[in-house]
Chain A
Amino acid sequence: AQSVTQLGSHVSVSEGALVLLRCNYSSSVPPYLFWYVQYPNQGLQLLLKYTSAATLVKGINGFEAEFKKSETSFHLTKPSAHMSDAAEYFCAVIYGGSQGNLIFGKGTKLSVKP
């Protein structure tokens, strides 16, 4: 079955440190890939999306993600964490033949220590 795997349900970093949140998808055909962020008590907000135009995708708030077909990965990074980055992050994928429906990973909760 098509799936999305996010490694690590909780990630903790210090303020100013690199943020790396991992996402792997399960298809040989490059899908559409998304990262969403959910701040406490809020809905999901789109961070960035990959639609085959470029393998390195820049999003909002200094985040970026790189599509690596050979590794079936789409990891999210930010060079320097800020306290306001504390949130839950979801990787989501639209696979071909899925009628455009999103399949979500289980989420990674990011904590930022002062």
Chain B
Amino acid sequence: DADVTQTPRNRITKTGKRIMLECSQTKGHDRMYWYRQDPGLGLRLIYYSFDVKDINKGEISDGYSVSRQAQAKFSLSLESAIPNQTALYFCATSWGGETQYFGPGTRLLVL
């Protein structure tokens, strides 16, 4: 079984809708991250969490919110989706500041 899982794997939604992307990990890592990937731009950090009570904004947090429900779960919400949030979203985990391990990604299309 995968150590870092993301649900859903694909999602189509309409402008203005609220959606949630979920991430779970079985690695026992303390840190969790959300990134978005756009063609030609690499990966950009949206939010990161050092533990359940420590959540921080990344480079591109506007329009997004997160929740760390437990050490193993970190969800990303788009309160009111817009087309330029169409992207591939990745969750990652790490122990301290060590190597990050990535989930398989969620492909989001906002119409």
Contact = CB atoms under 8 A, between A and B. Distances in A.
Interface of A: 9, 32, 34, 36, 42-46, 49, 90, 92, 94, 99-102, 104-107
25 contacts: A9-B40, A32-B97, A42-B104, A43-B104, A43-B105, A44-B43, A44-B90, A44-B92, A44-B102, A45-B102, A90-B42, A90-B43, A92-B43, A94-B97, A99-B97, A100-B31, A100-B96, A101-B33, A101-B58, A102-B45, A104-B44, A106-B40, A106-B42, A107-B40, A107-B42
The residue in B4, B41, B43, B58 that gathers the most chain A C-beta atoms within 10 A of its C-beta is B43
B101 interface: yes
B48 interface: yes
Interface of B: 4, 31, 33, 40-45, 48, 50, 56, 58, 90, 92, 94, 96-105
Contact of A102 (B4, B50, B56, B100): B100
Contact of A43 (B40, B45, B103): B103
Contacts of B42: 90, 104-107
A44 B56 CA distance: 23
